[in-house]
Amino acid sequence: MTTTDPSTTTRAPRGRRRLGDVLFAGGAQGSGILILAILAGVAAFLILQSFDSLAANTANFFTTSEWHANTREEPAFGVAALAFGTVLAAAIALVLATPVAIGIALFIVYYAPRRIAAVLGYLVDLLAAIPSVVYGLWGIGWLVVQLAPFYAWLETYFGWIPLFAGPVSTTGRTMLSAGIVLAVMILPIITAMTRDVFLQVPQAHREAALALGATRWEMIRMAVLPFGRPGIIGGAMLGLGRALGETMAVAMILSPSLVISWFLLQSGNQTIAAHIALQYPEATGYGVSALISAGLVLFAITLVVNMAARFVVSRRKEFA
């Protein structure tokens, strides 16, 4: 049996890197630079294309709710109502979807039998593949009709709460209906990320809690939820980003109206994305540039949301 002297083996010089390492490092660095360049390019495009309409605008862009931009002389438009509707619809969707997504993820990981968990996981992932126009058709063709009696009940017994004050819309095309549809759309995103985070909880943490006499719920509360909190927040922010930018489903459900209203059971409000989709085919004069300026506001809102999510997650690194 022959042996090889370690001193005679060929080694790469310590200061020299292999070609594969160099290519991989360069590709990773280039990808990071590329995404920054794309982000900067999108921001530059939005700023440059919206400059003409903003310079000619005779109204306050941030506080005005009217939209008279399809003209070549003295346009007057603002994004106040659109920004309010965008944030309101996304907030409703997030409030409705996040608790349900956490419950589904906990059931799949810690309660459901293995076969049922696999089927449920597949069905949840399948929801993310449904086009938004299908959600819009489902919402306008079936959901709003079914919700009309529920809205009347809410107005009857909880009308003293400003959010549920009447009169109730007879069509059901309200901000609450749009928020419910958006909640269903972002549910698979939050559920998938939350489920993956719960699967990463160290087994030693769970077994230690159970060994101390904790019930399954106490184990989840003490060991699983603290560990998965950054992932839950990250998934919720991803879902919020999807809800902020959703276009077709919201445009099909909401009645176009540029008002600022907190009344969830009344027709009114509109989102930036839906407004752009509805107005773009007929935009003339400063109209296109004005719609791009509204898109710039949506871009800024999304950027702020993602930065806030990163800040919240970074403050909880001890659970990561």
What tens digit of pLDDT does each residue of 230-254 get? 888 888 988 998 899 888 889 889 8
Q: Could you tell me if residue 97 is inside a domain?
A: yes
- Mean pLDDT over residues 220-239, rounded? 87
- Mean pLDDT over residues 195-199, rounded? 89
Q: Which residue range(s) make up the domain with 200?
A: 79-272+300-319
Whether 317 shows a pLDDT value over 80: the answer reads no
- Mean pLDDT over residues 291-300, rounded? 92
Whether 9 shows a pLDDT value over 70: the answer reads no
Q: Could you tell me if residue 42 is inside a domain?
A: no
Whether 135 shows a pLDDT value over 50: the answer reads yes
Q: Could you tell me if residue 190 is inside a domain?
A: yes
pLDDT at position 298 is 93
What tens digit of pLDDT does each residue of 13-45 get? 555 778 888 888 889 999 989 999 999 999 999
Q: Could you tell me if residue 221 is inside a domain?
A: yes
Whether 320 shows a pLDDT value over 50: the answer reads no
Q: What is the pTM of this model?
A: 0.86
pLDDT at position 319 is 45
Q: Could you tell me if residue 67 is inside a domain?
A: no
Q: Could you tell me if residue 98 is inside a domain?
A: yes
pLDDT at position 166 is 77
- Mean pLDDT over residues 126-134, rounded? 88
The number of domains in the chain is 1
Please tell me whether residue 67 adopts helix, strand or coil conformation: strand
CA–CA distance, 273 with 291 (Å, rounded to integer): 9
The CATH number of whichever domain residue 156 belongs to comes to 1.10.3720.10
Query: Of 33-42, 205-214, 280-289, where does the model show the most confidence?
Result: 33-42
Provide CB contacts within 8 A for 195, sequence distance 6+. Answer: 104, 105, 108, 109, 121, 124
Please tell me whether residue 99 adopts helix, strand or coil conformation: helix
pLDDT at position 73 is 78
In terms of Cβ atoms closer than 10 Å to its own Cβ (0-12, 13-18, 19+), residue 48 is exposed
Rg (Cα) of the chain, in Å, rounded?
26
Q: Could you tell me if residue 32 is inside a domain?
A: no
What tens digit of pLDDT does each residue of 139-185 get? 998 998 898 889 989 888 888 888 888 788 888 888 999 999 999 99
Q: Could you tell me if residue 145 is inside a domain?
A: yes
